[in-house]
Amino acid sequence: MKKDLPENRVVDIAIAVALERENIETKIWYVYLINLKNEPIENVLITSKGYGEKNGEPVKTSVLRHMFPKVESKAFVLIEPIDEETFGLNNEYWLSYYIGKNIYDKKFIFLPESIIDSNFIKLPVLNKPGVMIL
């Protein structure tokens, strides 16, 4: 039964979209996993996809899968580059990882138009401008 399963809550883990660099013609964006915990996480699996509507038509991106054997404490890993064209979609990142023998998972969704300058913060650990979901 679901009620018998332990509630392994994901805390101190973030997914962030960071502005890497920009010039007159373009901006370069990357998505990162940030481990704010005081311990490493292991066997990290992240799936990413975009979905929504564009010009009144349903749009879906490919599902991508990323695996990282270990993410150290107070560290980050690069998940993938992200195209500005997808900022008008829901950008979903589903994270699963282990601490010891316990598994944790959480879905992070950047809603359409949430990756905008007015939502920027200085991302912890990365020290870059961007948007983060805890």
Taking only the tens place, the pLDDT of each residue in 24-44 is 888 899 999 999 999 999 999
Whether 31 and 15 have beta carbons less than 8 Å apart is answered as: yes
Domain residue ranges of the chain, discontinuous segments joined by + = 2-133
* Other Cβ atoms closer than 10 A to 123: 20
Q: pLDDT digit string (tens) for 106-129?
A: 999 999 989 998 999 999 999 999
CA distance linking residue 65 with residue 60, whole number of Å: 15
pLDDT average, residue stretch 47-66: 94
In angstroms, the CA 119 to CA 111 distance is 12
Give me the pLDDT at residue 8, please. 82
Topology given in CATH for the domain delimited by 2-133:
Immunoglobulin-like (2.60.40)
Span 10-18, average pLDDT:
96
